[in-house]
Amino acid sequence: MKRCLFAFVLSLVFLWKASAEPKELTFWITDFNQQQFADFNKIVVDGFNRSQSDYTVKASLIQQYDRELKLALSAGKGPDILFTEGPSYLVQYSKNGLVIPLDDYATKYGWDKKFITSTLNLERLNKKLYGLPDEYESMFLYYNKTLFEKNGWTPPKNAEEFQRIVDEAKAKGITPLAGGNANWKGTNEWFITVVLNHYAGAENVYQGLTGKLPWNAPVFVEAINLLNDWWQKGYFSKNYYALSDTEAINEVATGKAAMTFSGSWAIHDMTQTFSQSGQEWDWAPIPSFASSATYPLYELGIGGTQSISKFCKNPDGAAAFLDFMYQPKVFMAWTEAQPSSGQLLPPGNFSEQETTSSKLDPRLVKQNAEVLNCIRTGQIGYTTWAFWPDRTEQLMINEIEKVWSGQLKVADYLKQVNDQFQQDVKDGRLPPVIAPSGKE
Amino acid sequence: MPARPAGSEAGSEVAPGVAWPASERRRDLSGWFYVGPSLLINCLFLLFPVFATLWMSLTSWNGLESPQWVGAANFLELFASQPFWGAAVNNAKWTVIFLTVPIALALLVAAALLRVRRLGFLQTLFLVPYILPTVVQARVWQGMILNPETGLFGWLGKHGINIPDPLISTTFSLYGIAIVNLWAWWGFLTVIFFAAFRQIDRSLLEAAQVEGAGFWQQLIHIQIPLIKPTVLFMLIMTFVWSFLVFDYVYVLTDGGPAGSSEVLSTLAFRYGFERFEFGKAAAISACAGLLGMFAISFYLWLQKKGFER
């Protein structure tokens, strides 16, 4: 009898112990270097683990993230907190029921008020919320300020001003536009994004994304023709295919090139390379190349989304972690730890006081402020990686090189793009889209 | 008629309906005992993936939803697409290059090495590139030699000697990659052929020399015919490996620029892990695999015909 009692008490102790143990939540991270990973662990993960005793988050750095994630999910495994590389990736998981709806948590934590509605709508499918926007991105014109001042140039606002600088730069043996895709083929789509938005214009792109205008319509043919002209006339770096994006930015830093079109992430390389060359840099909105495009216009890209996996055993804990991650004091501490990484803030309705820091590069702060303002007022353009279906995006990236090499005519290229887009729409791969007015 | 037991002589074939002798049965059983483990490993890690790939090639699967049976649609779509044939032609070019250049070079250098005394270290020297990891080789060539900004070619360009980087040319990118791969591969072949040449009875070569046969005559009429099995095996393996080339292309050009260096394996990777169309990726792999199987069957047929002798 005594033995039975002892065993009963012992099992109770074990049960109590097991229930008192914090439940583990897994989180996979990609595209961080070791320092960033360590900082993230210290500020975000450890911060959450210390803030409560019910859950412990364990973060892992994963290479080839998208592939690993798909393989894990197809085996019923994978991380509890599920990062995707943007709404076009999230839609595949939400469509297949691999992430859970977050609407109840959104009400509980007030996420629908915390985030800008239009950016939250990008993570909705059939009116259900499946993810939170991790950070936003946009495209800018980066230029060598020292070189511009020396030549009496000011950042161009329209096609004429742009052409004048390009012609003068060419005459002086300066590469007008630095670019390189040796380490990242996706560089090609940055330039496609630029001409589609700043030549064809956001309204036309929206018509294209909603199926009201085919991608081989004359306005898009003209836009891609413009990009092809730049290529054929040698405006881009001569060794585009041999240069990495960092090496391309170094051409701007050394004055070998005058400017480049790149995203918010380029601030990191701009800061590093210009500190070595001792010259000054700045950024400006991308010029409007036709009357169909407004100025200034900032493309919206959601660089990542956060969701909760269908296989997560503790979704309440995962939601608590997501809420912790998006508290201003947490993401500001994380952003301050990497002041020149070029990472913009989550697209939220945060006060200026909450998101201002003297530790951040003022040029990054200005980018944040201007892009956020455009998102709030709905004056946005569209990045190919956030609004196009993934297969169409890949085709655009790969086949544009055939246009540049003369193997493919612009009209044929856009016909291929349009055919693939229609197929992707049919297959339900089109991510949600926001109208230029800011509505879904 | 029952199959002839392993190891039995032609003359000891058992007549139909007659029981095999116990010793033969024991030999047969012990043969299976030895072959069994490797057969099991092959079935698990080779046959299963092969059949899984073949099955997958007949489906449409994005890695998340359940695979949908589409029959031969993946193959038909691929056969009608330019990128598939572009990649297949590049594989054919690659095969022709690797069946000729390194084999000829390696035979020549191996024969020359045979005549050089006290230079055995050259074998080691030739083998060094082969033992370097592929990514290291590729990065050294890409960044330190061919790169027009940071490499030797860039340095020469700054001193008035302009040599274009083949990797960024739509015409020469495939040949640029082939040069890097050849650099590593021909040394390995040289060592193999050198070892085979050393097995040849030296008296044969000495007799030929006495008869007045020169270097070329000895090489073509005596040495190469005597190592025909080795040469044939390496030719067949080169054919098979040339359809498996992936790493050099992926690291050096990723199939570009403009798809000019795309091969079947990188195209399969693109379909599989960029577009997540695993059915089409499997169909491309199945096509490449079938060509490899054809080469191996051809080799086995030649062996059966006694071509090697």
CATH number at residue A44: 3.40.190.10
Percent of chain A with pLDDT over 90: 61
**Residues A187, A120 share a domain:** no
In the prediction, which pLDDT does B7 show? 41
Residue A72 belongs to some domain of the structure: yes
pLDDT for residue A6 is more than 80 = no
Range of the domain at A27: 2-135+302-360
Nearest to A127 by CA among A102, A98, A109, A110: A102
Residue numbers in B near A238 (CB within 8 A): 148
Q: Which of B148, B254, B277 sits opposite A242 (nearest CB)?
A: B148
Min Cα–Cα distance to chain A from B52, Å: 16
In the prediction, which pLDDT does B1 show? 34
In the prediction, which pLDDT does A136 show? 82
Q: List, in order, residues 6 or more apart from B73 with CB less than 8 Å away.
A: B60
In this structure, how many other beta carbons lie within 10 angstroms of the beta carbon of residue B304?
8
Query: What is d(CA A352, CA A335) in angstroms, rounded to the nearest whole number?
Result: 15
**DSSP annotation string for B241-285:** HHTT--HHHHHHTTT-STTTT--HHHHHHIIIIIS--HHHHHHHH
**Residues A286, A248 share a domain:** yes
Q: Could you read off the pLDDT of A327-345 as tens digits, one per residue?
A: 989 988 888 887 666 666 7
The one-letter code for the residue type at A392 is T
Question: What SS3 class is residue A66?
Answer: helix
Residue A422 pLDDT level (bands cut at 50, 70, 90): very high
Query: Closest chain B residue to A243 measured between Cα atoms?
Result: B149
And the tokens for A265?
């992430």
CB A401 within 8 A of CB A407: no
Chain B interface mutation, best of A184, A240, A246, A405, highest count of B Cβ atoms under 10 Å: A405
User: Please, what is the end-to-end C-alpha distance for chain A in angstroms?
Assistant: 69
Residue numbers in A near B150 (CB within 8 A): 247
**Residues A143, A207 share a domain:** yes
**Residues A288, A260 share a domain:** yes
pTM for this one?
A: 0.83
Residue A43 pLDDT level (bands cut at 50, 70, 90): very high
Query: What is d(CA B276, CA B64) in angstroms, rounded to the nearest whole number?
Result: 9
In the prediction, which pLDDT does A24 show? 95
In the prediction, which pLDDT does B18 show? 62
Torsion of CA A311, A314, A317, A319, to 10 degrees: 40
In this structure, how many other beta carbons lie within 10 angstroms of the beta carbon of residue A20?
9
pLDDT for residue A13 is more than 70 = no
Residue A369 belongs to some domain of the structure: no
And the tokens for B104?
């000829």
Residue A57 pLDDT level (bands cut at 50, 70, 90): very high
Distances (CA, A) of A304 to A85, A299, A313, A347: 4, 15, 23, 11
Handedness of CA B283, B289, B290, B291 (dihedral sign): positive
Give the ipTM: 0.76
Mean pLDDT of A289-315: 93
Query: Closest chain B residue to A427 measured between Cα atoms?
Result: B62
Min Cα–Cα distance to chain B from A264, Å: 24
**Residues A256, A308 share a domain:** no
Percent of chain A with pLDDT over 70: 93
In this structure, how many other beta carbons lie within 10 angstroms of the beta carbon of residue B212?
7
**Residues A384, A285 share a domain:** yes
Residue A365 belongs to some domain of the structure: no
Query: Closest chain B residue to A71 measured between Cα atoms?
Result: B63
**Residues A106, A79 share a domain:** yes
> b or e along B51-68 (b: 16 or more beta carbons within 10 Å of the residue's beta carbon)?
eebeebbbbbbbbbeeee
Chain B interface mutation, best of A402, A409, A415, A424, highest count of B Cβ atoms under 10 Å: A402
Mean pLDDT of A377-403: 91
In this structure, how many other beta carbons lie within 10 angstroms of the beta carbon of residue B209?
13
Q: Could you read off the pLDDT of A143-183 as tens digits, one per residue?
A: 999 999 999 999 999 999 999 999 999 999 999 999 999 88
How many beta-carbon pairs below 8 A join chains A and B?
A: 66
And the tokens for B30?
């012990």
Query: What is d(CA B143, CA B146) in angstroms, rounded to the nearest whole number?
Result: 7
Q: Which of B168, B170, B254 sits opposite A239 (nearest CB)?
A: B168
List strand residue ranges (DSSP E) for A16-170, in order. Answer: 23-29, 55-61, 81-84, 124-125, 128-129, 132-137, 139-144
**Residues A310, A418 share a domain:** no
Most confident range (mean pLDDT) of A237-246, A374-383, A414-423, B57-66 is: A414-423
Query: Closest chain B residue to A402 measured between Cα atoms?
Result: B258
Query: How many domains does the structure of chain A reveal?
Result: 2
Cβ–Cβ contact B81 with A under 8 A? no
As beta bridge partners, residue A306 has A83, A132
Cβ–Cβ contact B259 with A under 8 A? yes
Question: What SS3 class is residue A329?
Answer: helix
As beta bridge partners, residue A260 has A142
Nearest to B265 by CA among B90, B101, B93, B140: B90
pLDDT for residue A204 is more than 90 = yes
Cβ–Cβ contact B2 with A under 8 A? no
Phi/psi-derived region of residue B258, left when phi > 0, alpha when psi is between -120 and 50, beta in every other case: left
Domains recognised in chain B with CATH numbers: 18-69 (no CATH), 81-304 (1.10.3720.10)
**Residues A149, A117 share a domain:** no
Q: List, in order, residues 6 or more apart from A419 with CB less than 8 Å away.
A: none
Mean residue pLDDT across chain A: 90
**Residues A271, A162 share a domain:** yes
**DSSP annotation string for A361-400:** -HHHHHHHHHHHHHHHHT-EEE-HHHHS-HHHHHHHHHHH
pLDDT for residue A420 is more than 50 = yes
And the tokens for A185?
């083929």
Residue A232 belongs to some domain of the structure: yes
Mean pLDDT of A209-227: 97
Q: Which of A66, A93, A405 sits opposite B257 (nearest CB)?
A: A405
**Contacting A residues, span 158-197, partner chain B, CB-CB under 8 Å:** 182, 185
In the predicted model, residues of chain B with pLDDT beneath 70 are 1-20, 118-120, 307-309
Query: Closest chain B residue to A247 measured between Cα atoms?
Result: B149
Residue A432 belongs to some domain of the structure: no
Query: What is d(CA B268, CA B279) in angstroms, rounded to the nearest whole number?
Result: 10
In the prediction, which pLDDT does B119 show? 67
Q: Could you read off the pLDDT of A255-268 as tens digits, one per residue?
A: 999 999 999 889 88
In the prediction, which pLDDT does B10 show? 43
Min Cα–Cα distance to chain A from B253, Å: 8
